[in-house]
Amino acid sequence: MFGLVHALTFLFSGLLWLLIAAWNTRAAALGMGYAALGALNFTAYAAYVASALTLGHLGDRVGFKRPLAWALMGLAAVLLSGFFWHAPWMLFLSACGINVFYGYFYPTVEGLLSRMERAEGVHPYSTTARYSLSWSSGNVLGMVFGPWLIQNQGWLVFSGGSLLCLTGAAFLAAHGRRHGERVPVGGRLAFRPGPDLSVSPGRLATLRLGARVALLAGSTAFFGTMLLYPKILTDAGIPLAQVGLIAAFGNLAVFVAFLVLLPARFWIGRPGLCALLGSVLLLLFGLAFFLAGTPALFALTAALGGLAYAVPYTFALFYGLATPDADNARQGAIHETLIGVSLGFGPLMAGALLSLGRGPGVLGAMVLALGFLSLLTQVGWLALRRSA
C-alpha cells in the first residue's frame, strides 16, 4: 500500500493525462491545426514551468501538506471552466490554469516524499521506485479514457475532477492534522535497501547533469509527439474511439520500464551506460516514425517513445531525490521544470514541422536529431570531466 501521498500521485497523474488528452482531443474536434495545437501546449506548459520555478520550492520553506490542500481546492474551481471549452481561447485559459496547479503539485509531492520518507528510513532508491510507479500507472488510465470521455461524457471529466480535488484536499488536511509533515511508511518496503550513495558533491552533480540532459531530450521527443497523437491518428484515418488505446501504449511502456529498470540497479553510478541506453532508445523511436501508418505500428512507436522517456527519467529523478541537503522541493522543482520545458517546446516544434505537410516521417527526423544531440552532449561532458 503506497499510502495517501502515493495514492494522490496516482489519482492526480491520471487526472492530468485525462485532461491533456481531453484538451488536445477537443482542439482537434474544433479544427485547430498542428501549429495551433503546438502553441496551445507550449502556452500551457510555459505556465507549468513558471509555476514550478516560482512555487515548486515553497515546500522547503512553508511546509507541504496544508498548502497542497489549498491548491487542490483551487484546481477544483479551475476545472469547472471545462464546461466552456467551446472555442480555442477557452482551451488556452483552462489549460494554463490546470498547469499552474500541476507545476506546483509535482515538485511538492517529490519534495515531501524524498524528505519525509528518508526521515522514516526509506532509501531514495525506494522512494524513486514507488513514486515513479504511482504516477506512471495513473498516466496509463488517463490516456486510455481521456479522448473517449471528452467526446462522450465531458461533464464527467470536469465535475468528477472537481469532486476528486475536494476529496483529496479533505483527506490531505486530515492527514496533516494527524501526522504533521510525516509520511508514515508502514509495513515492509516493496524494494530491498538501496545502494550506497556516498559520492562526492561533484560526482553527484556530474551524474545529475548527464541524466537531466538525457531527460530533456527524451521527454521533448516523447511529449512533442504524444500530445499531438490524437490529431496525428485521426488524420491517418484511425477512428477517434481507438486513439486513446493506441496512445496509451506510450504510457504503458513508461510503467513497464519502471517495473523492469528500477529493480535492476545496474545503471547507478554509470553515466556512460546511461547515456548509451537513453540515446539508443531515442534513435529507435525516431526510426519507428518512418514506418508508422497502421494502428499497430503507431502503438509500437508510442511504446518506443515511452521507453525513450522513462529510462532517462528514472536516472534524473533518482539523482535528484538523492540530495544530501535540505533542498528536496528545489530538486523536485528543477526536475519538473525540465519536464515542463519539454512539454512546451516539444509540441511546439512537432506542430511546426507537421504543419509543413510531410507526414509522421518529419517527427522521426526531429527525434533522431534529439537522440544524436543527447548522445554527443553527454559523451562530451563526460570526456571534459575526465580530462579536468
Q: Is residue 136 part of a domain?
A: yes
Highest mean pLDDT among 132-141, 184-193, 199-208, 365-374: 365-374
For the chain, the domain total comes to 1
pLDDT tens readout for residues 144-190:
777 777 777 878 889 999 999 999 999 888 888 888 877 776 544 44
Q: Is residue 93 part of a domain?
A: yes
DSSP string over 89-128: HHHHHHHHHHHHHHHHHHHHHHHHHHHHHHHTT--HHHHH
Q: Is residue 90 part of a domain?
A: yes
The dihedral built from the CA positions of residue 238, 239, 243 and 245, taken in this order, carries a sign that is negative
pLDDT tens readout for residues 307-327:
999 999 988 888 887 766 666
Evaluate whether 385 touches 214 at the Cβ level (below 8 Å): no
**CATH number of residue 261's parent domain:** 1.20.1250.20
Q: Is residue 293 part of a domain?
A: yes
Q: Is residue 194 part of a domain?
A: no
Q: What is the domain extent for residue 79?
A: 4-182+200-387
